Structure 1
Amino acid sequence: MKIPEILGEARALVTPAMEKALSQLSPEIQRVVDYHMGWRDAEGRPVQRRGSKSVRPALAFLSARAGGGEIAEALPGALAVEFLNNWAFLVDDVMDGDRFRRQRETAWVVFGQGQAICAGTALLTLAQQVLLESPTPARLAAVDLVLDTSARMLAGQTLDMTFERRLDYTVDESMAMTQSKTSSLLRCATSIGAVLVGADSRVVDRLAEFGQAVGVAFQARDDMLGIWGTPDQTGGRPRGFDVRARKGTLPIAVALNDPAHGPRLREVLAREGGLTQRDVEAATRLIDAAGGREWTDALARRMVEQALAALAELPLADDVRVHLEELAAMGLPDDVAR
């Protein structure tokens, strides 16, 4: 997958600002966050940084440009969405029992569940603080957006957790979880810059629609990687990871509701104890046969088209439009191995 150049530029802008903001945290919490971010090892020693792709900060910066402002005005918003994103990662890893992220052990494995949850909560607080400290008159509107986004993400996480106890969820329920848990954060990223620069509500709304659609595409692609992705694409997770974890992702939801293959898939996933490799392979074949992969692939492509349609309604500078289109294209699942 081609990585747009704008991501490197966004990372260069947001990383120093993140380090400055994180220095306000207590040493104990900062130690956990620095490890989670991939900046230091468990003993606090600097390491060669892997870092994130910085998609969300890039979207926040482009959002400000799309709203008629400058990138610098969106820096508090870029920080806020990165803090929200990492809050979710830290807490989700605890709730899901995920032991690896970014090709090393997750923060809760190293520091304990309580420390990881405290660090995540600190980031949620910091997301609001950096906006309140911003000099822009629109800072309260941006805080409202962050609060609404965090509420949506929590609702999505709660729904996701219910899927662990049942196999009768519908495709609509899985989609609702995706829109709340994942898409809402992309929606925030693509609109918060425009909010901070005081853009017209029509511009903010179209950018929010763009982000919501891109968010669904991103998650659909991730759902495919969670079943068919290779370890180098998934941060070290093996193929079929989401099947083994019995996650309520879109391909699995589609297959569970298929009359021909759903009953058999439900039987496999309902087995007591951990699934064997043979179980995972059998379930994966059933998901494929039921059209789970094909349906999710088509959804991702449809959502990218929908995002671009929302973008087409806005008068944008050529470079802003190109960058937003490049980032939307990252939701296309062309690189998911077959």
Structure 2
Amino acid sequence: MKLPPVLESAGARIVPALQLAFGELSPEIRAVVDYHMGWRDAQGNRVEKQSSKGVRPALALLAAAAAGSRPVETAIPGAIAVEAMHNCAFLLDDVMDGDRFRRQRETAWVVFGEGMSTLSGVSLFTLGSSTLLGCDSPNRHAAVSLYHDTFATMLKGQAIDLQMEGATEVSVARCLQMTEWKTASLMRCAATMGAVLACAPDSVIAGLRAYGETLGVAFQARDDLLGIWGRPHETGGRPPGFDLRARKATLPVAFALEEQGAVAAELRDVLLGTDPQDEDIARATLLVESGGGRERTIELAAAKVNKALDAVRALNLPEDIRTGFEEIAEMGRPDY
């Protein structure tokens, strides 16, 4: 997938800064992080092709620019922090969920073990916090508070996610609560961090906050669609129906179960079965779609993207900055 121009431009600034910052980690942990980030292979050899899109650090740069600041100087610590927290969450989630593939190759815990992967995730979180504390923004303590509050909210969302795994009586409201805490909170943090560091006025921060929290729900809804109907090259090597096989209570499933009819009843029976075979996953996929799960999730994602666009367009931003926010928002719109 070709990245929008805003991400290509931001990546040239962010990746060298990330590599320099992550160089402060111990050699043992750095090996895990470099592999997870896609910078090196399992043997430590450099990998030229980067796999991460860098949406969240790009948002941190745009947020500083929205405040009228020079983003490279002001928001790089914020970009490093949000990407550190994002990948901390990936490393820990992969261990907890038992996911064996991410970004077209085996996850870090499969290669280096659960203990090293967990240590690496926690190390990234602490590195992000110390990066913010060490920057020269007069608002650095407010940025650290935002960082810590966001992670605490993400942990609440992850707890719900683990609790719902395998459940067949999950409401749409419960799924949305989990999404808002686990995913949208980080997007909200990314969309406001640069503005906080740049001492933006409250009105700008409020607009960016609304943009980030609604866009985060759209991104999760799109990921939930990919977890059922996505192709391996779109899902980091996972097969279609992966989330159904793992019995994850995602938005399409919740929407389909909410109908409470014959389709929902059959879907529950399939999800409750042990050791599902390919034909069971194919049947469940059809049931989720016929129960309206796919259509309603697409509608939700599109509505959230539109709401995020409205929020950023209400701000008085230079055209190039607004366009950057718009390009990222459109990535949350399902294209199938």
Distance (whole Å) between structure 2 residues aligned to residue 290 and residue 165 of structure 1: 19
> Which contiguous aligned blocks of 4+ residues in structure 1 show a shift greater than 2 angstroms?
47-51
Alpha-carbon deviation of 1:109?
0.4
Aligned to 1:269: 271
Alpha-carbon deviation of 1:146?
0.6
Alpha-carbon deviation of 1:165?
4.3
Q: Give runs of aligned pairs for residues 48-87 of structure 1, distance below 5 A.
A: 48-72=48-72, 73-87=74-88
Given that 2:164 and 2:248 are in contact with CA atoms closer than 8 Å, whether structure 1 keeps it comes out as: yes
Alpha-carbon deviation of 1:82?
0.5
Q: For 2:306, what is the secondary structure of its paired residue?
A: helix
Aligned to 1:28: 28
Alpha-carbon deviation of 1:125?
0.5
Alpha-carbon deviation of 1:47?
2.2
Could you tell me which amino acid in structure 1 is paired with residue 32 of structure 2?
V
Could you tell me which amino acid in structure 2 is paired with residue 188 of structure 1?
C
TM-score by length of 2: 0.97
Q: Give runs of aligned pairs for residues 92-241 of structure 1, distance below 5 A.
A: 92-241=93-242
Alpha-carbon deviation of 1:51?
2.9
Residues 78-125 of structure 1 show CA distances to partners (whole Å, capped at 9, x for unaligned) of 001100110011000000100011111110001110000000000010
Residues 41-63 of structure 1 show CA distances to partners (whole Å, capped at 9, x for unaligned) of 21212123323111111111110
Could you tell me which amino acid in structure 1 is paired with residue 26 of structure 2?
S
Alpha-carbon deviation of 1:8?
1.2
User: Structure 2 unaligned runs (5+)?
Assistant: none
Distance (whole Å) between structure 2 residues aligned to residue 151 and residue 222 of structure 1: 22
User: In the comparison of the two structures, how many residue pairs are matched?
Assistant: 334
Alpha-carbon deviation of 1:323?
1.1
Given that 2:166 and 2:249 are in contact with CA atoms closer than 8 Å, whether structure 1 keeps it comes out as: no
TM-score by length of 1: 0.97
User: What is the root-mean-square deviation in Å for CA atoms of aligned residues?
Assistant: 1.1
Alpha-carbon deviation of 1:202?
1.4
Could you tell me which amino acid in structure 1 is paired with residue 272 of structure 2?
A
Distance (whole Å) between structure 2 residues aligned to residue 295 and residue 207 of structure 1: 26
Report which stretch shifted further, 254-263 or 105-114.
Answer: 254-263
Distance (whole Å) between structure 1 residues aligned to residue 111 and residue 125 of structure 2: 21
Could you tell me which amino acid in structure 1 is paired with residue 256 of structure 2?
A
Aligned to 1:14: 14
Distance (whole Å) between structure 2 residues aligned to residue 209 and residue 129 of structure 1: 27
Distance (whole Å) between structure 1 residues aligned to residue 101 and residue 257 of structure 2: 27
Distance (whole Å) between structure 1 residues aligned to residue 98 and residue 193 of structure 2: 31
Distance (whole Å) between structure 2 residues aligned to residue 276 and residue 124 of structure 1: 38
Alpha-carbon deviation of 1:2?
5.3
% same residue:
52
Residues 260-302 of structure 1 show CA distances to partners (whole Å, capped at 9, x for unaligned) of 2211111110112x21101101111110011000000000110
Given that 2:166 and 2:247 are in contact with CA atoms closer than 8 Å, whether structure 1 keeps it comes out as: no
Aligned to 1:256: 257
Distance (whole Å) between structure 1 residues aligned to residue 316 and residue 227 of structure 2: 37
Could you tell me which amino acid in structure 1 is paired with residue 165 of structure 2?
E
Distance (whole Å) between structure 1 residues aligned to residue 3 and residue 44 of structure 2: 30
Alpha-carbon deviation of 1:166?
2.3
Residues 288-320 of structure 1 show CA distances to partners (whole Å, capped at 9, x for unaligned) of 011000000000110011111111221000101
